[in-house]
Structure 1
Amino acid sequence: MSLGACWILLKECISGGSDIGAAVFVESEQHSFLSALLCPQFHIQDYLPTIYYSMYGHVEKLAEEIKKGAASVEGVEAKLWQVPETLSEEVLAKMSAPPKSDVPIITPQELAEADGFVFGFPTRFGMMSAQFKAFLDATGGLWRTQQLAGKPAGLFYSTGSQGGGQETTPLTAITQLVHHGMIFVPIGYTFGAGMFEMENVKGGSPYGAGTFAGDGSRQPSELELQQAHHQGKYIAAIAKKLKGAP
């Protein structure tokens, strides 16, 4: 967008009686200009947060790669958030859970600010962990007003074994998206040859990126991290298309 075009948009915004809102930076070949203050509905970037729960760090490592993938798409603001812990420090200590990282804790109300989501969690008996379910259970206000309807959402996960829920975990999680009216965005087989890896253990499925934690000592493999990066980039591109971004 040229500087002149920005001023025209500013005039239209003011003449239409809209409140002045977000700042827009316009790039030319040699300079970046703070051109104008424009209407609040004019978004500089699409906001795609990666929201997760991780007890031992496996899901967090996938989340970091998903954020990087999303951030690689031009015009997308990617950010990491954790959901609140529900277990006491005493219980976590008995489970040998390491301290949480400094990634900020999200509140349900902050979901309304996003243009799309990528949700990640470990499995508990083939379903999402109780911590993440508790977070979603607190989104009743957003559900009542359908503030998340029409927004794209992806899923990623960690399981302890090959039969531990690599498909049932995301499959059962889809119900949460459906009730909010969100649009589930699976990765399908867009990851290419990596989806057919048979020589080494690899988590993930057409539903989304995944990893195997085993007894906790196994960390996400390079291929699993690549799949997570791909998922972030893929859903960010889908989110832009849904918003009609150029």
Structure 2
Amino acid sequence: MTEKDQAIPAVEGPLLAIELSQRSGGAAVIDDSGDLHTVGFEGGRRDRDDVLPGIHAVLARAGVAASTLRCVAVDVGPGGFTGLRISIAAAQAIAEVANATVVGVPGAVVAATATAALGETLGEIVVLSAAKAGTAWRTRLGRDDTDRCWRIIGDPGIIDRPDDRACVAVLADEHVPSELVRSTVSDSPVHSPSFDAAAVARIALGGGPDLLVHADPARLMPIYPREPEAVRRWRSRPAR
């Protein structure tokens, strides 16, 4: 899924990571010494912008200038349209100024890494997200060692029926239809997913084939399981 896998393991701090695929998000910085600094914020507020001030705050806390960043990582979804648009645009702008590599981290990998209930879990899991009209976006992931990162298995995609393949755990929020959470072949525990910028940072530094790595920030794109509603409405507008 990446055009230059070799770049990820070679990336060193300072690194900025941004998480805003959900309503609550945050930013993290790994400095030159490898220390992690984090700050949380809310996204999509109409009364004020907390995202850029939050990014400035965590950079200041880490003693890192934006212009010295070597890498900017961001959760690319699936997730909220507005949050993804804001966070990816911020990552692109900062990376452009710093001449830094951008790393897109799939949201399912972030969820699997950040959810504490999966800390000792091995085997295959399923992450269900982006629920709409009785469907959801399914991503299968697996690992055989708790010291290793979760890896995507097969191709993620939209489902409209229960899974017919066993897994050891399911991550799904309250918006995913219960009939999709249930498996036809196993009674797996279901956990609510967590997302945080620290996980985005750790995944980016860990490297791997699931990351979307670009030297050109403009090439970084979100993962949209469906056409965004705003785009759909634009396409369906009456002709003039």
TM-score if structure 2 supplies the norm length? 0.35
Q: Which has the higher contact order (CA 8 A, sep 6+)?
A: 2
Which structure is higher in strand share? 2
Which structure is higher in helix share? 1
TM-score if structure 1 supplies the norm length? 0.35
